[in-house]
Structure 1
Amino acid sequence: MTQHSAPTSTAPAKRMLSEQVHAHLRDAIMRGDHAPGAALKPQDLAKEQGVSLAVVREALVRLVGEGFADRLANRGFAVPAYSDRRWQEIAEARRTVEPLLLRMSVERGDVDWEARVRAAHHRLTRTPVYVPEEGEYYSSAWSEAHRVFHRTLLEGCGNQVLLETFDRMWTASELTRRWSTHRNPHRDGVEEHRRLEEAALARDADTAAEVLAQHLTLTAAGLTD
């Protein structure tokens, strides 16, 4: 029994370190500490974080799966570039799926759904978009309020499989939103969200779907201007 105690006791510690490094790198990429297209060198990151190469590589592989890093053949890892085709593919997928879910929500949502949409929009409008301590990209609190608003709009559809698809696409497009907003600071997202709430609560499925499709198109277009 004594022989097997060491691996068992070290595994949780390694997982915890990997979680910490993953969270640190994810936040750093979202803050813009690592520019689009910049190399993410495991050796340098391991030295910076004071952890092993294995821990850093595990964290980087997870970031690749989430869309926050690319794994390059024989070249290690890098932050995705503005020109990465994936952003347009994700935008196309979202424009295909999310307006359909919104139509379903408008048709199926009950009064409780309406109340949640109104509350989520209120929270979004009252949350500061930027805070000094988080740099020039939008705040983590606003990011979460934004996610909750968009997901709440779609939750009236009542289809958990489709909502899980939304969750995956939302995570995959996080960098798109941050970079697009940063490159297009004069875009009136407040008005776009107001129109979304208004059309959804008015039970105007056509307008709601159209406004959402435009909203998603503008986000992706912000990386190609």
Structure 2
Amino acid sequence: MQNSWISRLLPAATNTRPTEWSRAAIGVSLGTLLCVWICSLFFGLPVAMHLIGPLGASAILLFAVSSGALAQPWSIVGGYLCATVVSLGVVHFFGRNLDSACLAVGLAMLIMCLLRCLHPPAGALALLVVLADPDSARLGWGMLAPVMLSAVCMLLAALVYNNLTRVRYPKKNAEPAPAIVAPHIPGEAGITAEDLQKAMEQMDAFIDVTPEDLEALVRASEHYARRRSVREVFAESA
């Protein structure tokens, strides 16, 4: 029992190649640099540097795990918008202090969940908007402008870089697919992407994967299972 608990603390195996790490790392660096540079041109370097933490975290999602549900366009744009509006509202009523910052990040998460735009770096953004540096605090509600400019720049950078490096982004929302798993019992229905979506909803947990990715995994698993079965048949007949 204790060994099982300890094993859960160990790092999981990665399924990506070093070349993909390098591709993503270059994108993260270039995307963050571009966003901070453009933001600094319009709003000054102090404001741009104040946003660099959430932007760097967003860059890792958009360039390294771009297939995840938390890295899609509506997630970053909607997440940044929700976090900023909620935080500025909290500042208006409760001022700038640690309690307000903690309240803002909790409320921002709830609204992001309601609007289906959960984006973890937006949580850090909510804290930063409340506990702003003097240059950012002076902007007041005008803080929306540098935040949304940075979010759009990061999204555009991810769209261009990922697709130029042969990584499809954003993830396409596929129509409900036909059965993808052959039924083992006569009359039993196969699994579809819609079935996977309903199963994910019943798990009652945050899962950063789309039904389309799960469908692709099932298809690939079926393919390798068929190949293995063919090899076993030939091995038995040899």
Calculate the TM-score normalised by the size of structure 2. 0.27
Larger radius of gyration: 2
Calculate the TM-score normalised by the size of structure 1. 0.28
